[in-house]
Structure 1
Amino acid sequence: MGERTTGNLLFGEAYGRLTVGVDGMPAGLRAVTVPVRRTGEDRLPRDRRRRLRVREVDLVSAEPVGLFEPPPVLTDKDLLWVLRAERRSWNVVVRRFGAAADQVATELVRSGGVVLRREVNELLALGKSLHWRLTESWAQQAPERIVDLLGAREPQRARAELLARMQSVAELSVERGLLEQVPADAGLVVPEASRSGTRAWTAYEAAVRAAADWWELRAQGEKEVTLKQLAASALGGSKRWTPQQQAAFANLLGVEFEDAVHEEETDLRVKGPLSWCIGEVAADASIVQPWVGLPARSLHLLGQAACWAEGILVIENSDTFGAVCRRLPELTSRWLCVWGRGYVSDQLVALLDWLAPRPVAAWCDLDADGIAIVDGLTRKLGRPVQAVGMGVAEWHRGPYRKRVKDPEQEKARDRELAADLAGRVADDLRDLALAVAGTGESFEQENQYTSVLPHLPKLLAPLLPSIPARPTDVERTTT
């Protein structure tokens, strides 16, 4: 019997797993696997003869690790290669490091950089390595660490290029003067009095380049600079801004980030107690049939909106959303039902933030991606999101999704994602994550039209306040 592992949530790659005793374990590492849930307890998987049934394990650090402490065995060039892919097959690792592959992998696991998947034979001894993946901590830091590594070899050249970029932008003349005063041998450091407000060179460089592009585009008569347009030119082709880059860029401009760049709106389909207008009524989600599409960002930034919903229900699939809108008027009279295109978009989060503190529930597919939606909403909103219709008993009943393209690869991907999620979610959702992690099977919510759909009002009722909410009008910036 293994012991339940815990750990720091930031670096808890073993959280939600059980330790497995296997032979051949390198020092400083431990093997963990996804447990099975029986009689309310987490247990190691066993066969009918009570023998351990573990065919693969993940090797993780046995000790607490730092935020980013690469092992000395890696050169900067090797570290750059490690960071450039979140997942590497073992054959690729061997081609890169040759006879040193095992040592490199062990050191990376020990430092908290990667999780190494290995086979286990019938004698519970470690078998061949299969692949590694970056830990969540390293994966989140990888983009900026890569920039650091690429620029760290020639700090004078990187600083000179940034100074040249600011040369033609009058609005950056003060910032340029501050950077010129940094001693040549100081390395890549941000000027002390920089308006950017950051101490990280990677965030500073991205913010300066973005600000230079932004001012030049505006000088050329571009009234609307889009998020991806600016990212493509200033972030080296990346479309993903980090929070540090956004904040530093906004500080240099002296305006809010959302006011400086435009992000194309994603329509959200809604049905329920909400209306929105600019000058005249534009949409009334309480009476339109079967639903209405609203521009997510404008909804909470412009005009006047009134919402008298008591709660919000997020539905993953469009067909299921339509079924709820058509079949359950008693539900949509009290709950605002939202379809956000099946993922956690910034627009969806902004809408839910605006409607706080109403309770938020989510009904998604009973699979790794569905669990990820609930987890993503919970983390981005900073408050609980209640999963409904997503119990492990429903999942066990099937039928499971028929996979066509590459069934085994898709199942392996879902097993890995569900195993990671099992360490972050709780209660019934955690049981579902552990079940999916065991098989990789997916159960779509369209199969719940008879078992869950008619009962949604009853399932959601406990989440509502005891006293019905009064209609509330919320006025935003008018045009």
Structure 2
Amino acid sequence: MPDEEHMVDVQDLIASPVPDGVRVVVRCPEGKEAPQKFGTLDFSTVFLVAENPPDEFASPAGLGPRDLAWVLEKPSRKLKTVQDRWGTRASEVLDELIRSGAVMVKARVNMRDLRIKRYLQIIRTPLWSERADERRRELLGRIDPEQARTGLLDLMQGITELGSERALLLRSEPGVVPEGSATRAGHWDTYDFAVRVACRWYKHGGDRHPTQREVSSRSHAHTAGTKARWTDARVHAVENLLRKYISELFDFPDHEIRVKGPLRWYKDGALAVDAVTTDPWAGLPSNGVRETGSLELVTGIRGVLVLENQDTFYRSCQIPAITEGWVCVWGAGYASDGLVGFLKMLEPLPIAVWGDLDAHGIAIITNLRDRVKRDVYPVAMTEESWLRGPHRPQPPERQEQDAKKAAGLLDQAPDTLRPVAALIADHPELAGLGVEQEAQHTEVLPGLADLLAGVLDSVHSPSGA
């Protein structure tokens, strides 16, 4: 399901009847307002989504295993393929797929009579995409658990670093993640992915860090190769097994670092990027900015604010009280080597960070602190904020994984985030859940400048680390 922050309900504007349990929305472009046409909301293209999608991966009623596997096979399909497969039942099946949270449907609206003119395509939702490969194999019965277990044991043979993991697998039941596995994986598919990547890493890692696709093209050459999906669960299982953050394990191609604030970059003596005046933000080459030219810290600069999510970065860049003194930087999740190098160039400016209030958000900040090798100062990430919510729904297995991840951060995270990690790890009702940055905009953004002023007061205090 698309993020609620990026959907506008337009059902009352549509003249066509809508099936029970389905609503009609317009999706907003990432980091922008709702689409406009001639000064009014443009709802010529809409999406039909579940009104109350289940939190869990529940099979739609009336669909057999092979039909469901077909839905899971591709991220999107043209409507005609649905009609060709189910014929006269196509409309009924489509409605059930939407209600179950499996797909959303893109449709075109006739703006003259405000009726839905035609359906264009079905799009698999993120919840279903997260486990699509694993679920398809379960449905189609293509994996023999004993054969899969034997295959991994053969791969791990002779790799000293995986000796303990192999011993656990030897004692486990076929198709079951071994108890005590270093991967902390919740499903066999995630476990299998992490072990295969680790085997490739230890056998052929060498001195040069490979990219993720270089590794998966070899570790999963028997299946998807470079198309193997690096889901969040798989990434964290690999990190756990190899005992390093993903950013330390792999090389990432040069990319754009988005910034806004009192900073300029000069190349060959000429102004190349002016983050002061560029609207809405400026882009710096992650490797180029460290290798050539020079940075100018504009008078009045106070610090750096690293923001995990794109929407939050965009909104923060629109607040002059922040960008006049702080360089806003989009962290884009786990920091790349290029971003870490860039932040080191700005030393000794204090680094404030604001991310999702969940186990992964805390891990991202912990990773950043460790790699820049100095204190970072989390803002708007308190126990009260986490308890207040709203909490993002999670499938039970993902909730359990995140609770375990939070428990593993209790002795590693910055001091101010450890109480939040404890809540995520052990809360009797909400363990494993998190609060997204975007859900906090209304409460946090109006007072963010004051929170950053508080960071400056804490710079010389050990409580910020």
Letter paired with 1:31: V
Letter paired with 1:69: A
- How far apart in 1 are the matches of 2:57 and 2:343? 32
1:234 to 208, 219, 223: 219
Letter paired with 2:148: A
Over residues 301-328 of structure 1, what are the superposed CA-to-partner deviations in whole Å (9 max), with x where a residue is unaligned?
xxxx9998336699xxxxxxxxxxxxxx
Over residues 32-75 of structure 1, what are the superposed CA-to-partner deviations in whole Å (9 max), with x where a residue is unaligned?
4579xxxxxx9x99999xxx997665322233422321314333
- Contact kept, 8 Å, 2:247 with 2:334, in 1: the verdict is no
- How far apart in 1 are the matches of 2:6 and 2:232? 27
Structure having greater relative contact order (Cα 8 Å, sep ≥ 6):
1
1:95 to 84, 100, 110: 84
2:202 is matched with: 215
Larger mean Cα displacement after TM superposition, 289-298 or 125-134: 289-298
Over residues 359-379 of structure 1, what are the superposed CA-to-partner deviations in whole Å (9 max), with x where a residue is unaligned?
99xxxxxxxxxxxxxxxx9xx
- How far apart in 2 are the matches of 1:112 and 1:467? 43
2:237 is matched with: 248
**Residue 131 (structure 1) aligned with residue 118 (structure 2):** no
Match runs of 1:96-245 below 5 Å: 96-118=85-107, 127-142=117-132, 145-146=135-136, 153-184=143-174, 188-218=175-205, 222-228=206-212, 229-235=214-220, 236-238=225-227, 240-245=229-234
Larger mean Cα displacement after TM superposition, 97-106 or 121-130: 121-130
Instruction: Give the CA deviation at 1:224.
Output: 2.0
Match runs of 1:391-410 below 5 Å: none
Instruction: Give the CA deviation at 1:254.
Output: 3.3
1:297–1:203 Cα change, 3 Å: farther
1:272–1:206 Cα change, 3 Å: same
- How far apart in 1 are the matches of 2:263 and 2:39? 54
SS in structure 1 at match of 2:69? helix
2:21 is matched with: 28
- How far apart in 2 are the matches of 1:125 and 1:68? 32
2:250 is matched with: 261
Instruction: Give the CA deviation at 1:465.
Output: 7.0
- Contact kept, 8 Å, 1:273 with 1:285, in 2: the verdict is no
- Contact kept, 8 Å, 1:29 with 1:109, in 2: the verdict is yes
Over residues 72-99 of structure 1, what are the superposed CA-to-partner deviations in whole Å (9 max), with x where a residue is unaligned?
4333333333233333221122223333
1:11–1:264 Cα change, 3 Å: closer
If you compute each CA radius of gyration, which structure gives the higher value, 1 or 2?
1
Letter paired with 2:154: A
**Residue 309 (structure 1) aligned with residue 298 (structure 2):** no
TM-score where L is the length of structure 1 = 0.52
Letter paired with 1:180: L
- How far apart in 2 are the matches of 1:53 and 1:270? 30
- How far apart in 1 are the matches of 2:351 and 2:75? 36
Q: Which runs of 5+ in 1 are unaligned?
A: 1-8, 36-41, 276-283, 300-304, 315-330, 361-376, 385-422, 428-461, 474-479
Instruction: Give the CA deviation at 1:287.
Output: 11
- Contact kept, 8 Å, 1:115 with 1:135, in 2: the verdict is yes
1:90–1:334 Cα change, 3 Å: same
Instruction: Give the CA deviation at 1:173.
Output: 3.0
Letter paired with 2:211: L
2:56 to 67, 85, 94: 67
- How far apart in 1 are the matches of 2:141 and 2:100? 23
- Contact kept, 8 Å, 2:50 with 2:101, in 1: the verdict is yes
1:115–1:247 Cα change, 3 Å: closer
TM-score where L is the length of structure 2 = 0.53
- How far apart in 2 are the matches of 1:309 and 1:47? 38
Letter paired with 1:95: D
- How far apart in 2 are the matches of 1:249 and 1:53? 43
2:270 is matched with: 289
- How far apart in 2 are the matches of 1:246 and 1:61? 29
- How far apart in 1 are the matches of 2:328 and 2:38? 43
Q: Please, what is the CA RMSD of the aligned residues?
A: 5.4
SS in structure 2 at match of 1:16? strand
Larger mean Cα displacement after TM superposition, 19-28 or 188-197: 19-28
1:78–1:169 Cα change, 3 Å: farther
2:372 is matched with: none
1:161–1:55 Cα change, 3 Å: same
- Contact kept, 8 Å, 1:178 with 1:194, in 2: the verdict is yes
Over residues 191-236 of structure 1, what are the superposed CA-to-partner deviations in whole Å (9 max), with x where a residue is unaligned?
1121222222122111101111111115xxx222312321222243
- How far apart in 2 are the matches of 1:148 and 1:356? 50
Instruction: Give the CA deviation at 1:352.
Output: 8.3
1:76 is matched with: 65
1:46–1:103 Cα change, 3 Å: farther
- Contact kept, 8 Å, 2:9 with 2:23, in 1: the verdict is no
Instruction: Give the CA deviation at 1:13.
Output: 9.0
SS in structure 1 at match of 2:120? strand
1:210–1:339 Cα change, 3 Å: closer
SS in structure 2 at match of 1:100? helix
Letter paired with 1:30: R
- How far apart in 1 are the matches of 2:65 and 2:191? 22
- How far apart in 2 are the matches of 1:163 and 1:313? 46
SS in structure 2 at match of 1:81? helix
Letter paired with 2:236: A
State, as a whole percentage, how many aligned pairs show the same letter.
28
- Contact kept, 8 Å, 1:11 with 1:65, in 2: the verdict is no
Letter paired with 2:218: S
